[in-house]
Amino acid sequence: MGFLSSLFGSKSLDYKTLVQQGALVVDVRSTQEFVAGHIPGSINIPLDQINAKADMLLKKGKPVITCCRSGARSGMAEGMLRSAGIDAYNGGPWESLKQKI
């Protein structure tokens, strides 16, 4: 396995199927950023509120796909949610994720 594929996996995640199976798309940008544009059906939980909302997301019993502007905040949110026991995935930039789902 090559270095990059060992870091990022050998195949990309099928976000469309995850969403079709009920995964929640959580946009972790600020409320102002979210209002300016977002994926239809996504919910806005700013990164600084993720830990406080983790129990609510865990109770939903669904996978969570995080997104933001560049992928940095969504990566941090993914780690926080995984630590809380949630099946979470970093969807990266919301505009790119929108094209994949």
Catalytic center residues: 68
**Distance from C-alpha of 73 to C-alpha of 33, rounded to nearest angstrom:** 13
**CA separation for the pair 57, 84 (Å, rounded):** 10
